[in-house]
Amino acid sequence: MDKAIWTSQQNALLAIVEMGGVAILARCFRSGFTELSRRSGQPFFWALKDVPWAEIADGSLKPTIVLETADGQPLVRQGPFQGPHANYEEFPPHLLDAVLSIEDRRFLDHYGIDLKGISRALVRNFQAGEVVQGGSTITQQLIKVLYLESDRTVKRKLQEVVIAFWLEWKLGKQEILARYLNAVYLGAGATGMPAAARIYFNKDVGALDIRESAMLAGLLKAPSQLNPIDNFEGARQRTVTVLDAMVENGKLNVAEATAAKAEFAALDVTTPTPRSGSWFADWVSGQAREIAGASTGSITVRTTLIPRLQQAAETIISRALDKEGKALGVSQAALVAMTPDGAVVAMVGGRDYKASQFNRAATAMRQPGSTFKLFVYYAALKKGYGLRDQIIDEPITIDGWSPENSGGGFRGRVTLAEAFARSLNAATVALAQEVGIENVAAAAKELGIDATLTNGPALSLGASEVSLLDLTGAYASVRAGLSPVQPWGVIDFQAQAQPRAFRIGPQVKLSVDISEYQQDLVQLLQLVVERGTGREASPGVFAAGKTGTSQNNRDAWFVGFTEPLVAGVWVGNDDGTPMKGVTGGDLPAGIWREFMQAAMAEPAPSADLEDQTLTGEQEPSAACNIRACAQTYRSFRVSDCTYQPYRGERRLCEK
């Protein structure tokens, strides 16, 4: 920076600071900051020693994670959303003109601190008797948004001034403006202009027209109060102000501004389609953050969510609860669907995400009832039992506990197949005693159940609580013939500076071959749908699954699979209030059937749901097992999946 300009700026700043009444800061400037040093007992640099200089120079202090659906569309979650960072060249010129005209007209002329702007603001605020205009530059606003605390102290103001000059010298105007436009909050959960363009207009920031650009620039003043979703008229009035400022600044002529104002009434403010999948987005964000690691900048994470399946799941659950929920005493429901290898393609965690963000599909722990019987019969098969072997369904008492069959009565000697299809409790408990409860628990763990399991006889009837997500994953193990299938949600990721994406996929190796028992397990589950308690679930094609109802009808389940898809449904109440006679064979089975029919009604582009989550226009060129690489190499870097060997250049981790 030219020395004369620096001196002029510094002297003028002193005068303005004094006008504002910050006398101590002015004296510090005049005396080489000796006053501040004397008061603190430390050198002037005490005020600047904790400034994150390196992070400020590099970019954002934390990575921006951008979630996409399986087909590469933005996954815009309800609540906070930040899109991919845009480079300066990607912002349309009229958006830049609008922002500068209304926020910092002298941005290209000052050196981070606009002394004329401060003077003008002081005069106008003095005349008005209140604060009606600010004097902060875009550079200062960027510092406030990203790098400094908001407390009003001499130390912080001093940091702001010094950092502003330093940023202007270090980054230049274009980079400062781009960072600012990527970082500002613009209402409706949107951080950054790219996110706001997606939230309000469902388009990329580069596709904004003049009206839309002016509206977004206007939101900078009061994003929560002026966003067009909640206050369209306020947004319109503010947009008019921005357009007038652009005319005054020579960035628009009167005719162009008049046309934009006239067209504003037809502005299509919308939200992205699908703006669904928020429970899924919350769940997968943990995996995405692990992938992002210590990276900076934008990281695009392509997830397994299939929009049309997610929309179908949400619609079917909402319709079922609206139609039957009140009469049946059911207030909540959850659904999770995945491919046989565990790729989650749809997740509904409750009735209404806006009302409750609690994820009943992934987080809630509930008694699974008879859906847990799968593990009893799997343990029996491993012990050498066959489906035609007989067990006795008769009254049984163990340590004072006497389980009863649903509807009462006992059937005497029955085959394993009949006992499972009819969900006979007494016969199942007797079988579990012969097999060994410890072996039932081991069978559940082997198929992927991670929950803590009790060691009593009631375990065989689902006394231990599990999540719908884990239970559905266990049924996926049966469908796959390998275990344990662990649900996963990230296909691949790509750092902003990287030319290619890296495949993630399942992070748990399917190490147990259960193909020896798969046919019998599938046959058992198929019998339930064909002539057992799950007949309501039949979608008209091959289907296999199991009903479950916990004590006093507090929870009702149906979990099962078709050829391409595995899905689980739960219904109940958050407070555990009993439902009005609801069992797994009615409402949950009906929801499951409708979802499967919707899933199969419109085949995916690959004509196979099992493959869609792993198919894209460009197949990732390399896999990256982040957990294995990070455990093996201390120098492992997530952004490009490389590590530093003892000699030579960094290498791709191929574990």
Cα R_g (the chain), whole angstroms: 31
pLDDT > 90 fraction of the chain, expressed in percent and rounded: 49
Query: Lowest mean pLDDT: which of 24-28, 148-152, 254-258, 381-385?
Result: 24-28
How confident is the prediction for the chain on average, in pLDDT?
Answer: 82
> And the tokens for 143?
């510092």
What whole-number distance in Å separates Cα of residue 64 and Cα of residue 275?
19
Residue 358 belongs to a domain: no
Peptide linkage before 484 cis (omega within 30 of 0): yes
Task: Check whether 180 has a pLDDT greater than 70.
Answer: yes
Residue 14 belongs to a domain: yes
Residue 381 belongs to a domain: no
Which residue, 47, 63, 79, sits at the end of a domain?
A: 47
- Decide which of 146 and 31 is more confident: 146
Q: Max alpha carbon distance in the chain (Å)? A: 102
Task: Check whether 299 has a pLDDT greater than 90.
Answer: no
Residue 619 pLDDT: 47
What whole-number distance in Å separates Cα of residue 527 and Cα of residue 435?
22
Residue 646 belongs to a domain: yes
**pLDDT-derived band at 37, boundaries 50, 70, 90:** very low
Task: Check whether 23 has a pLDDT greater than 60.
Answer: no
pLDDT in tens, 436-457: 999 999 999 999 999 999 889 9
pTM (two decimals):
0.77
Exposed (0-12), middle (13-18) or buried (19+): which is 509, by Cβ within 10 Å? exposed
Contact 622, 654 (CB under 8 A): yes
**pLDDT-derived band at 409, boundaries 50, 70, 90:** confident
Helix H or strand E encompassing 36: helix 34-40
Query: Lowest mean pLDDT: which of 449-458, 523-532, 562-571?
Result: 449-458
Residue 291 belongs to a domain: no
What is the span of the domain harbouring residue 2? Answer: 1-47
Residues in the chain: 655
The arithmetic mean of pLDDT across residues 382-400, rounded, is 93
Residue 295 belongs to a domain: no
Contact 122, 135 (CB under 8 A): yes
Residues 6 or more apart whose Cβ sits within 8 Å of residue 285: 65, 67
pLDDT in tens, 275-287: 566 899 889 988 8
What whole-number distance in Å separates Cα of residue 497 and Cα of residue 495?
6
Residue 589's φ and ψ, nearest 5 degrees, are: -65, -40
Residue 36 belongs to a domain: yes
- Decide which of 59 and 261 is more confident: 261
The arithmetic mean of pLDDT across residues 455-460, rounded, is 92
Pairing of strands 642-643, 502-503: unpaired
**pLDDT-derived band at 374, boundaries 50, 70, 90:** very high
Residue 29 belongs to a domain: yes
The arithmetic mean of pLDDT across residues 375-381, rounded, is 97
What whole-number distance in Å separates Cα of residue 409 and Cα of residue 404?
8
Residue 451 pLDDT: 93
Residue 349 pLDDT: 95
Residue 25's φ and ψ, nearest 5 degrees, are: -65, -40
CA distances from 478 to 75, 259, 467, 565 (A): 30, 63, 17, 12
Number of folded domains that form the chain: 2
Residue-by-residue DSSP string for 228-245: TTT-HHHHHHHHHHHHHH
pLDDT in tens, 53-73: 666 666 655 667 788 899 888
What whole-number distance in Å separates Cα of residue 291 and Cα of residue 301?
9
